Amino acid sequence: MSRRQFALPGRDRPDPPDDTGCTILHVDMDAFFASASLLARPDLRGTPVIIGGSGNRGVVLSATYEARRFGVTSAMPMGRARRLCPTATVLPPDHRLYSRISDAVMATLGTFTPVVEPLSVDEAFLDVAGAIRRLGPPAVIAQTIRDTVADEQGITCSIGVAPTKFVAKLASNLAKPDGLVVVPVDEVVTFVQQLPVAALWGVGDKTEESLVRLGLRSVADIAHTPLETLKRALGDAAGEHLHALAWGRDPRRVETVVPEKSIGADETFEYDVDDPAYIHRRLLRLSDKVAARMRAAEVMGRTVTIKVRFADFTTITRSRTLRDPTDTSRVVYDAARDLFDRLGLVRARIRLVGVRVEKLLDLERAPVQGMLDEPEHGWRDADRAVDRASARFGAGSIRPASLLDR
């Protein structure tokens, strides 16, 4: 199916698509970080621009569509991106700007419907069923959103309009950049089944390889494969999940409150490191950052996970579930350091380490246990004193002595 058949009424097809029952919208900012950065550099519009660290050890955060035509993608090492597109301008990220624009866009979406489910800083699902009487059909609402975001923020977004979340997200991707695609209810199955298997949620590289070995290359192939065959090949849960998606079935509702499932941070080094003491200091800094974010979000977590990426880009993770939930920097660090030490790495050259805390609970559901004179309570008091100092004097004004510049 071509994009033309599912495009905005009056734009690419002579007859408007029927958006009856298509109350789910997926709104996705176009190359968000790059588009936002170009607001201060209008002279670079229409040229290849890459957002990320300027050194060869950095990674690509975002890229304009002009740079993407050369093969530049997010999370690509900056050295490779420069080789693919040597004429690109590299700009440093401005996370404060991105956060401000994201907050403004989400506030705008909330004026159309209260049923908004943010997925990240630059995309969200909306259910506009309750807004149709006030604002018009779903496709009209979607176009109004696009116009409003462009007028107020100076950036563009693409929107998919469909009866389910899964199909709406597929449609917004088809609409990029700066487009709107409607998938009518009676065309959902046709729309989904003409896609490659990799388009289905949950199909990664390994699952795709398994499907191809079975001779299943398109979603239609999956749809017409007996469910029991899929279960035997992929497992009961995965088989049922993919079979349902292949027929356009997705019962999930738009959730207005989505609790954060994890909080983490990682660091890519300027050069490959094989010194355990250096890694320990980085883990301490990352643990401190993660715990501070947890306290700011008023959550505690039970599972600490570390990520280690080696010089050859091989990546491993290790996790530990604590007895009690915590938001204390020292507790997170002790777990992260022990996980790293248990790897038993000897002179292994490491490119990146990361720390993440999962199984988050809000403070009301994760009360602090123990007596007032227990060590963890003392660390919690110290952490909160650091938080207050950081709020007054700036982040990093107080930090562990081992992190001071030598």
Q: Which residues are annotated as a binding site for Mg(2+)?
A: 28, 122
Residue ranges for the binding site?
Answer: 28, 122
User: Do residues 217 and 211 touch, judged by C-beta distance below 8 A?
Assistant: yes
User: Do residues 6 and 17 touch, judged by C-beta distance below 8 A?
Assistant: yes
User: Do residues 223 and 211 touch, judged by C-beta distance below 8 A?
Assistant: no
User: Do residues 355 and 264 touch, judged by C-beta distance below 8 A?
Assistant: yes
What distance in Å separates the CA atoms of residue 271 and residue 262, rounded to the nearest whole number?
28
Q: Which residues touch 70 (CB under 8 Å, ≥6 apart)? A: 48, 84, 85, 88
Q: Could you give the angle at the alpha carbon of 98 between the alpha carbons of 252 and 176, nearest 5°? A: 55
Token pair listed for 173 = 């991707």
What distance in Å separates the CA atoms of residue 333 and residue 355, rounded to the nearest whole number?
9
The one catalytic residue in 66, 117, 123, 187 is 123
Question: Catalytic: 270?
Answer: no
CA-wise closest residue to 22 among 174, 125, 107:
125
Tallying the residues shown for the chain, one arrives at: 406
Element (H, E) at 360: strand 350-362
| Paired residues of 352 in beta bridges | 268, 309
What is the DSSP pairing of strand 49-52 with strand 60-63? Answer: antiparallel
User: Do residues 225 and 61 touch, judged by C-beta distance below 8 A?
Assistant: no
Token pair listed for 100 = 């401000």
Q: Kindly list the catalytic residues.
A: 123
